Structures are given as C-alpha cells and as structure tokens.
Amino acid sequence: MPFKSTPLNLHSMRAADRDGHRFLTPTSSYGEDLKRIVLVVDETIRTRGKLSRVVSTPRGELVEYTPLGRRFADLLRIPLKELEYQFPNHEFSPLYIVFKRATRHLREAHPFHTVERFDEAIERLRRYGSGTVLKRRLDSMKRGERATGAQVRDLCAHLRAERSRVMALRIDLGLHVIWAQGADLVVPPVDLAEMQGYRSQLIRWLDRGPMSKYLLAYIWKLEWGIEKGYHIHLAVMLDGNRLRKDSIIGNIIGRVWARDITGEKGMYYNCNRNKQRYTRCALGTLHRSDAEQWGCLEQSLRYLTKSDFFLRLQVPEKTRTFGIGGLHAAKLRAMRKQIPPVHSL
C-alpha cells in the first residue's frame, strides 16, 4: 500500500438561506464530519495492513501515513461531544459508535499519540468491525437503503418512459428560527405531532390542490436539526410538457407551506432558484433523451434515502419519516402487485 505524507485538505459543507446566501452552520459542518467518520471507518474495517509507519530522515524520524491513514488521522481532530450535541434526537450509525469506542484513548492523547497507539486503535476498530452483531446491523441498514433506492430508481425509469419532459423541483420546508443577539438559538416550539399535521396538509395539497393535475410524483423526508427543529426535504416531479418556469412554481409551493399550511410560521428554500450553484444539476425541465440529467436526478433523490445510514431520527414506532407518492408512484405500486412472485414463474 503506497504511503503519502502530504496533509489532507479539509472543507466544510456550507448551508444556504432562502435568498441563496451561503453560510457555515454547526449542524451542516458536523453533519459532514459525521459522514466522513462513517465512510472512512467503513473503508478501514474492510482493509488490512498498517496505515502508518515511522521513517528515518536526515531531520530525524517522521510519521508517514497511507492516504487512508491520513484521512483516519484527520478524524481524530473532530470534537465528538460537540458533534453529538448537534443531534440530540438521533441514533448514530454503528460505524460511528465503534469509531468512538476504538479511538477513545487515541483521541485523548491526540496530537501526541504514538504510531503504536495509532496501529492498536486501527486493529481494535477492525476487530469490532469483524463481529457478527455489527455486520448484521449494517447489512440490515443497507438492505433498507437498497430497497428504498430501488423504489427511487424504478420511479425515475417509469417517469422517463411515460413523459418526454418532466419538471423536477427541490424545496426545503421548515419553521422560523429565532436568533436573539447575545443569546442561544431558539428552535421553533413545534413538536413531532404538529409537524406531522403540517406534513399531512402539504401532501393533501399536492394530491388534491390546483397543482394536482400536473403532479407526477413526490418524495419527502422528515429530519430534525438543533438549529432548525423539524424540517422536510421535498422533491416534486410535474408534467414538463404542460408547465414552465420551475423556479416560480417552487416559490408557489413554498409560499403555500409558509403562509397557508403553517399560518406564517413556515419558511422555505427553493433550490430551483439557484440551479447555477449545482455542478451536476437535476432541477428544472428534464428531457427524456438526456441520460445525464436523469442520472443526476436519480442520484439526488437517492441521497434522501441514504442519510439514515449515517444518522437516523428517533421517532415513535410506526412514525413515517420518508414517503413516496403521487399519481405515477401509485401506478408503479399497482404494477408491482401484478407481477407474480419469483417462485411461481
């Protein structure tokens, strides 16, 4: 395995407000840190061999890391207590839990740990990762992610086959947050039951409101953040042959949420207003012949299904935090029911 001693470049996710201004928030930054931990730990437990070594140079002994070892060492800088503070209502990935357990002594000594301690932590992590309990838990989570991802893939394929043009919208729906000068952030005083009521009204409006005659499908995901409280990520697919001006339609949906559904408590961010910010854009009108755009759409929609692998909102049993609906989603479910089971073929 090649070794490389160059430093790893760090970057943080930046959030955006409803006007498109970019700013760094603790939740968005620590969310990216959590993803890095899970992905690097997942890669580490699937590899073998040392990730660091001591080399002698004219200036003395230096520590060199493999590229993976460098990324792992960089995780030790992340303040886990502050990270966990951002997500008090969530269940963390099992890979985050084993990282925390395996590196406790290493993190306490960082940055003055020895190569021996670093190697011991890596081996401890790999032992945890080889256990049957962790493997079963990860397999279960990945099966759920694959099943939901298959629904998204089938829906995109069905929409593309049925419509020559599809309008894709992405809107984030939340509630007003109070920032008091010299005081802590005050999240909206809305509990889960109230947010579920707002969500039900939103789905009813999509299914039966004035936009319903153009509606093809929608996907929603309920999340909670210490800065925003409960909020919803919404993707809506409309008939692109009959509609234009996607950013305006996104604003219409956002205003219905902000004013009519939540009674002026709500706020929204219309991603279609800032399509130029996305290097691989799957927003606006998608043409059936544009395979790259449809691939981007499927990838962006599957992203909503993958977040539970890193962090899962803790809610009462049978509470829905994710849903797919609309005319074509219903058609797709009906088609699946007509397919005979494999053992009867």
Closest of 214, 211, 233 to residue 222, by C-alpha: 233
The per-residue pLDDT for range 56-88, each reduced to its tens digit, is 777 777 788 899 999 999 999 899 988 888 787
CB-CB contact of 76 with 107 (8 Å): yes
Q: Give the Cα separation of 55 and 305 in Å (integer).
A: 44
Q: How confident is the model at residue 328 (pLDDT cuts 50, 70, 90)?
A: low
Q: How confident is the model at residue 7 (pLDDT cuts 50, 70, 90)?
A: very low
Burial class (CB in 10 A: 0-12, 13-18, 19+), 179: exposed
How many other C-beta atoms are found inside a 10 Å radius of the C-beta of residue 13? 14
Helix (H, G, I), strand (E, B) or coil at 196: helix
pLDDT at 215 over 90: yes
DSSP state letters, 232-292? EEEEEEEETTT---HHHHHHHHHHIIIIIITTT-EEEEEGGGGGGG-SS---EEEETT-HH
Look at the block and give the residue holding tokens 């042959």: 241
Q: Give the Cα separation of 284 and 20 in Å (integer).
A: 17
In the predicted model, what is the mean pLDDT of residues 169-185? Answer: 71
Enumerate residues 6+ apart whose C-beta is below 8 A from 213. none
Lowest pLDDT segment from 5-14, 29-38, 178-187, 259-268: 5-14
Q: How confident is the model at residue 217 (pLDDT cuts 50, 70, 90)?
A: very high
DSSP state letters, 96-136? HHHHHHHTHHHHHHTTS--HHHHHHHHHHHHHHHTSHHHHH
Give me 139's structure tokens: 């397999």
Q: How confident is the model at residue 8 (pLDDT cuts 50, 70, 90)?
A: very low
0.75 surpassed by pTM: no
Phi, psi of 22 (to 5 degrees): -90, 140
Give the model's pLDDT for residue 27: 54
Q: What is the mean pLDDT of the chain?
A: 78
In the predicted model, what is the mean pLDDT of residues 215-242? Answer: 87
Q: How confident is the model at residue 167 (pLDDT cuts 50, 70, 90)?
A: very high
CB-CB contact of 176 with 265 (8 Å): yes
Q: Residue 18 gets which letter from DSSP? A: T
Residue of higher predicted confidence among 2 and 125: 125
Helix (H, G, I), strand (E, B) or coil at 56: strand
Lowest pLDDT segment from 100-109, 133-142, 311-320: 311-320
Phi, psi of 108 (to 5 degrees): -65, -30
Q: Give the Cα separation of 58 and 296 in Å (integer).
A: 50
Q: Give the Cα separation of 302 and 145 in Å (integer).
A: 9
Give the model's pLDDT for residue 89: 75
Phi, psi of 262 (to 5 degrees): -95, 0
- The count of C-alpha atoms lying within 13 angstroms of the C-alpha of 208, restricted to the half-sphere facing its C-beta, is 6
Residue 327 identity (one-letter amino acid) = L
In the predicted model, what is the mean pLDDT of residues 40-61? Answer: 85
Residue of higher predicted confidence among 31 and 160: 160
Terminal CA-CA length for the chain = 48
Give the largest Cα separation in the chain, rounded: 75
Residue of higher predicted confidence among 37 and 19: 37
Residue 318 identity (one-letter amino acid) = K
Give the model's pLDDT for residue 23: 38
Residue of higher predicted confidence among 235 and 330: 235
Look at the block and give the residue holding tokens 């399509």: 275
Report how far Cα 245 is from the mean position of its chain's Cα atoms: 27
Give the model's pLDDT for residue 35: 87
